[in-house]
Structure 1
Amino acid sequence: MVVRKLQLPLNQTQKIRLERALERLQSLSSTANSDTSVIVADSIPVNYEDAFLKGHGTSEINGEVVATLCGVVERVDKLVYVRALRARYKPEVGDIIVGRVIEVAQKRWRLEINFSQDAVLMLSSMNMPDGIQRRRTAVDELNMRNIFEENDVVCAEVRNFQHDGSLQLQARSQKYGKLEKGQILKVDPYLVKRSKHHFHHVEQLGIDLILGCNGFIWVGEHVEVRDPVMADEQKISSSGVKKEQKHTPLETRQSICRIANAIRVLSNLGFSLTLEVITETVNLSTSMNMDVHDMIGPEFHVVAAENEAERRRAKRKR
C-alpha cells in the first residue's frame, strides 16, 4: 500500500479519521513486510557482514546504502534494489492487457496500451469471427474493420517483443477480443499485481471484470464464452436477418458504475486492486445504501480506508 495525497474536500473530522486509518494500514504493512517504502536519500538497511549487490535505485554514500528514487525496497537473493511505483507499465510475455485500437493498418491493428509505445496485433495472431483455423486471405484483410475499428476496446495477451522494441500481441482464444457494453478505467499499473487470474465474473451482479496488467481495467456486462459459429446462428432470425443486440438493462448499468466507482476510490487511496478488495468495497457501498454517484465523494473514501484497515487487521488475526 502506498499512501498518496488525496485532492478531496475533506472536513476536519474526515481528515482525522482518514489519517488514523492510513496510519493503521501503514503499521500493518510495515510489520507484515520486511521491505519498506523509501524516498530519495532514505537509508536502506542491509547486513554489511554478508555480501550483497546494489541494484537499480540504490547508491553508496559515506559507506551507507541509500535510495536514489522513490519506491519499495526489494531483495532477490543478494541483490538489493528499489522498485519504482510511479513507473509506466513494463510489459512481460504472457501479460493480460486491455487496450484501445488507434489505427487499422495493413494486416495489423495498432493499440494504445499505456506503454511508452503502441502495441501491434497482427491479423494472423487472432481468431477469426468464424472460429475456423485457416490461412488469412486478401478478403480477410479487406474486412478487418468488421472485426476491430478505431476506438474499439480490445483484450489481448502479450506475445513477444520484436528486434525494434515493438510489442506484439495475440488474441488466439475466445476469452480475448472486442469488449462491449461496459467502461474502461485507467489506474496506475503497479496497483494491478500479476496473478494467475485476471478475468473475473462477479456472479451476484452479472458483471465481467478484467484487470489488465497495463493499468487498463474493463468493467462490463457478462458475456458467455461460446462457439462463434453457434453464437452467430443464434443472432439470425427466421427471416435470415441478424437481430440487433439487446440493450443493457438499467440495473446492470448501475452495477457497472458501482464497481467502476469502487475501483476509482481504491485507486485514489493507493490500494492494490484485487477481486476480493473490489467486491468488499462494492458490498460496503450497498450495505450503506449509498448512491452510485456518492461513492466518489469524500465520506466514502474515508469509510473505504477504515474498512480496508479493519479487513487487513482481521486477516492477520486468522
Structure 2
Amino acid sequence: MEVADIISISKPSKFEDVDSDIEMSDGEEPRDNGIVTPGELVTDDPVWMKGHGTYFLKDNTYSSVAGNVSRVNRLLSVIPLRGKYQPETGDHVVGRITEVGNKRWKVDIGAKQDAVLMLGSVNLPGGVLRRKSESDELQMRNFLKEGDLLNAEVQTVFNNGSASLHTRSLKYGKLRNGIFLTVPSSLVIKSKNHSHDLPGDVSVILGVNGFVWLNKTNKSTSNSVVNNKLQSTIDSKGNYDPGKGSVSITRLEEESSWEIYSDKNDKISATVRDNITRYYNVIKALSHGELGITEQRINLGYQASLQFGNIGKLIEIESMENICQDIITNERMRGSM
C-alpha cells in the first residue's frame, strides 16, 4: 500500500483560480471557503505553491490541518479552525507579562512563542519621545512585572513567527479595574476598533488573539484632560496664552504614563460589578455557540440576558443556547445575517 493511499482519507477536491490565467484540471468551481480535513487532497495541479497548513507529496498538495482553504495568487494555504494565534502586524492584542529581561519584557499573547515588548516601545514618565536611560531599565518592574496584563499593538512579526509589540499610544498600557477571559481567537472578528464602551459603565477590549478584557469605563480620558487644559490657555477674547495653562503637555504625558502603570484599582460599585459579570457570561455564551464576537452581538446578548435575573444562571448550557438563539433571531430580523 502506498503512502498516498493512507493519507488521502476523503474525496479529493480540485481548484481553479478565476482571478488568474491559471486553469485547473476538470474546470470545477473553486471553493474559497472550502473546509478540508487533515490528509485531504487540496489540489493535484503542480502549479500551486504550498503554504501554511499544507504539505506536498508526489505532485499533490494535501492539507495538514482542519480548516478553511485560502488562496493568494498561486499560494495555497489552510487556515486552521482552531489553534494557536498567529500574530499579524497591526493586531490589537491583550497579553500577560511572563518575564522581565534586559531592556525587554516577554508577553504571553496566546501564540506559539511569547512576544517581545522592548523598553523603547513603551511610554515612560517624562514624555513619549525622551531617551530611555539606565534608571528606566532598573525600574522596569515598577512599570510592568510578571503577571501584569496589558493591551498593545503588534509592531513587527519576525521570520520565526514571534512578534514585537508596542504601547506608544496612550490607549495602550497596563490593564486595571476589570476581569480577564479567553475565547478562541478565530471567533474575534477583526475590525477597525477593538475597544468599545458598552451600556452599564463597562468597557471591553476584544484582543485579536482571543484574550478579552472587561473593565469599568474610565470617564476621565487623557484626551478630555488635554482638551480642558488647552482650553484654559485661551482667554475671553479667544487669544492663546501659552503661559496661562496650569499643566503643560509634557506634564500631562508624565501623569498619564504614571497612571497607566498604577497597580491600584479604583473603587467599583456593586452595580458595575454585576454588569461586568453579566457581560463576561454573555461573551462566554457567544464562545459556546461559536458565534463571531463583535460589539453588536455583545450588546444583543446583554439585552437577551436581562430576562435572567440571576446572573449565575447565565453559565448554564440551556441559558447560553437561548442567548445565542436570541442573537441569531434578532440579526435575521435586522437582515444582518
Q: Percent identity?
A: 33
**Segment of structure 1 superposing worse, 296-305 or 91-100:** 296-305
Higher relative contact order (CA 8 A, sep 6+): 1
Which residue of 1 is the match for residue 325 of structure 2?
306
Deviations 1:201-260 (A, max 9, x none): 11x2111211111111111111243159449879xxxxxxx9x76411111111111111
- Sort the Cα spacing of 1:231 and 1:201 in 2 relative to 1 into closer, same or farther, 3 A: farther
For the residue of structure 2 that corresponds to 1:313, the secondary structure is helix
Aligned length, in residue pairs: 273
Separation of aligned partners in 2, 1:60 and 1:167 = 28
Separation of aligned partners in 1, 2:71 and 2:141 = 47
Kept in 1, the 8 Å contact 2:200–2:275? The answer is yes
Residue 255 in structure 1 maps to residue 251 in structure 2: no
Kept in 1, the 8 Å contact 2:93–2:152? The answer is yes
Deviations 1:128-148 (A, max 9, x none): 134342111122122222211
Separation of aligned partners in 1, 2:292 and 2:165 = 25
Which residue of 2 is the match for residue 158 of structure 1?
154
Deviations 1:260-285 (A, max 9, x none): 11111111121111111111101110
- Sort the Cα spacing of 1:290 and 1:52 in 2 relative to 1 into closer, same or farther, 3 A: farther
Kept in 2, the 8 Å contact 1:90–1:115? The answer is yes
Larger gyration radius, structure 1 or structure 2: 2
Kept in 1, the 8 Å contact 2:36–2:67? The answer is yes
Q: Give ranges in structure 1 of 5+ residues lacking alignment.
A: 1-32, 235-241
Separation of aligned partners in 1, 2:252 and 2:298 = 34
Aligned runs of 1:192-203 on 2, under 5 Å? 192-202=188-198
Separation of aligned partners in 2, 1:246 and 1:191 = 31
For the residue of structure 1 that corresponds to 2:299, the secondary structure is helix
Kept in 2, the 8 Å contact 1:55–1:82? The answer is no
Kept in 1, the 8 Å contact 2:39–2:64? The answer is yes
Which TM-score applies when normalising by structure 1?
0.74
Residue 205 in structure 1 maps to residue 208 in structure 2: no
Which residue of 1 is the match for residue 33 of structure 2?
35
Kept in 1, the 8 Å contact 2:32–2:71? The answer is no
- Sort the Cα spacing of 1:40 and 1:312 in 2 relative to 1 into closer, same or farther, 3 A: farther
Separation of aligned partners in 1, 2:269 and 2:217 = 12
Aligned runs of 1:288-307 on 2, under 5 Å? 288-307=307-326
Amino acid at match of 1:184: F
Of 185, 188, 194, 1:189 maps to: 185
For the residue of structure 1 that corresponds to 2:83, the secondary structure is coil
- How far is the alpha carbon of 1:39 from its aligned partner? 3.4
Separation of aligned partners in 1, 2:94 and 2:104 = 17
Separation of aligned partners in 1, 2:129 and 2:73 = 45
Amino acid at match of 2:175: L
For the residue of structure 2 that corresponds to 1:35, the secondary structure is coil
- Sort the Cα spacing of 1:127 and 1:285 in 2 relative to 1 into closer, same or farther, 3 A: same
Q: Give ranges in structure 2 of 5+ residues lacking alignment.
A: 1-30, 227-249, 257-261
- How far is the alpha carbon of 1:291 from its aligned partner? 1.9
Which residue of 1 is the match for residue 12 of structure 2?
none
For the residue of structure 2 that corresponds to 1:111, the secondary structure is strand
For the residue of structure 1 that corresponds to 2:275, the secondary structure is helix
Aligned runs of 1:99-118 on 2, under 5 Å? 99-118=95-114
Separation of aligned partners in 2, 1:246 and 1:68 = 48
For the residue of structure 1 that corresponds to 2:151, the secondary structure is strand
- Sort the Cα spacing of 1:122 and 1:40 in 2 relative to 1 into closer, same or farther, 3 A: closer
